[in-house]
A and B are shown apart, each in its own frame.
Chain A
């Protein structure tokens, strides 16, 4: 009797010791991002590779629906809960840095000079007091998606190169029923999606304007260029009747359903479109302006280390951060999510540049601008309302732009006061 009792006690003690030794060795760090299937797959792949290279570190991957993500992060980090490494939208970072919730990246492991040499210049917005606060794996830009089947059907050779061509092609692609109701749009529109970026950073510039001044603290689109840009955009619906704001609820849904000839969207849409069966589509650079000017909007999500990570967790977190911002990780991200590498060395490879899908986005990065938002949804609402006033209240584009400029300046003033 005694002997088996001893055996059990011995075995249990041994197991407990072995387990606790195991726990002591393995550092677990937590990584947070929002839920988007391709992004989740990409990070899972990266974690697998990282853990294989670093057997003493485990990474716990947690996701939240996009709608809750910002709130969850903002509630969790100040209370010392939540992630060690977190993905934040570039526009949010400032608030976190000011509240000292993001640890600056140590300059020995992440020398600023090297980052500036290796990454696209837009990443420099992440630098503060001589150190980088966070780094992106991928960057995004806009491009024109077009439905090749509808193009063929309408006898159109290829995507539009200029804004004028866009209007002409859109006319050929639009279909109406006997009562004049649009059943297929030439191009999707809706300021709520990516179009407010298109208008802000691309159209206003192409019509000769410069949308902001003082590091995006002063609205500057309240001029002829801004009004002309909004007039051109609104006339797609009011004059040329090649679109309908919110057609089929969402532009991307209409495009997916094959009911839209063209659709302007970000590189993050590639993954979702690729998995849409029966849809044949191509990508082109955004059409050039009247004088041939090209512009684009670029944004990105960054990986930062929170103040929660200290000691060996911080060391592990830094290792993980270095890994997810490596060329290798960027290529995996590009192949899985369709978001573009944040380093020219990984982005501007011959294969990527020649890629019919990624190529136009990568070319767009070269001349892209990154809006620094104080409150992106608020600033977006301002442009959406301007468009609604034109459509619903017959306001002139010039007046609509003037009201919008005033409203947006108010948001900026409140934020930077």
Chain B
């Protein structure tokens, strides 16, 4: 495996961790970026609060 393969492997690990964190935050309604492209605040977050 060359250096590019190792770099891709590292990025893959980071991305998978980011995805897990994002899904967890989404279901806990802590996602600050909004659950859609059109809201300034996650509607579900406000609801669950």
Partners in one complex: no
Chain B residues in the interface with A (C-beta under 8 A): none
What is A's interface to B at a CB cutoff of 8 Å?
none
